[in-house]
Amino acid sequence: MPKIRTTNPAGFGGRRYIHPLTLQEVPSVTTILNAVAKPALVGWAAKSVATFAVEHRESWAGLPDDDAIALLKGSPYRKRNSAADSGTDVHSYAEGRLGGLRAAPQCQADRNVDEILDALRPEPIFTEETVWHSREEYAGTFDAIVKVGDEQWLVDWKSGSGVYSETSLQLAAYRYAEGIVTPEGKQLTLPRIDRCVVLHVPKDSAKWAIVPVTADDLEFGVFRSVKALSAWMGGSSPVGQRLRSVPA
């Protein structure tokens, strides 16, 4: 039975989806959005290294210089990967809740999920489905489309410290995709989307929030521009080799 496959090639290519029937290979929405500058990450990385150095000085103080540098330099990535794993756990917990399971919460973010779902009482329409845009050449997996009252919401769960502007581009890409592609390759029509929201369920705070996000034509146009930039950045370098003489 054909299934949607994903690949993670080395380099800038990032995660890519392979269509189960057409075998079209396209970049993921999140990989495309890696081309958006994230200046806040610079300060976060510097603080992560400094914090690790202070809190774990015994682990690197006696190491050779190169080993100590490698250990300290890698600390932000280890923290980021741990946060990503935690975010995946929260998504799984939320998906289970929307599917009718009521497991015991394992962390503050899980408790936030319980509270926000108990407050909204959403009716799930789709959860964790893959959207595809063959003409624009991208794919991605949204968290959920739910019915709240008379409205249908495209929902994105976030468990980090904040909600950033590129989320609007992410949700616009999902909203304006050609349709949903099932693991067997069947294409389904995306339902009407009345509202795009982030359900913010921080890991370290009980202050959950419903954050409205604008993801309209303008944001989709910006996403398409970012996609062009991402493709250019991942292509061959436009800068030639260094010359020692004047070119003919």
In this structure, are residues 145 and 193 in contact, taking their beta carbons and an 8 Å threshold?
yes
Strands 151-158 and 195-200: parallel
pLDDT in tens, 136-170: 999 999 999 999 999 999 999 999 888 999 999 99
pLDDT tops 90 at residue 57: no
Position 10 confidence tier, pLDDT thresholds 50, 70, 90: very low
What structural domains does the chain harbor? 5-36+105-234 (3.90.320)
| Top-confidence residue, 147 or 13 | 147
Give per-residue pLDDT as tens, 59-90. Answer: 888 888 887 777 777 776 665 545 444 545 88
d(CA 149, CA 200): 20
Residue owning tokens 């936030």: 112
Q: In angstroms, rounded to a whole number, what is the distance separating the alpha carbons of residues 223 and 196?
A: 16
Q: Which string of DSSP letters, residue by residue, matches 81-148?
A: HHHHHHHHHHHHHHHHHHTT--PPP-SHHHHHHHHHHHHH--EEEEES-EEEETTTTEEEE-SEEEEE
Predicted TM-score (pTM) of the model is: 0.81
What distances in angstroms separate CA 162 from CA 140, 158, 159, 196, 198, one per listed residue?
21, 8, 8, 17, 10
Q: What is the mean pLDDT of the chain?
A: 86
**Beta bridge partner(s), residue 27:** 16
Looking at per-residue pLDDT, the higher value among 7 and 159 belongs to 159
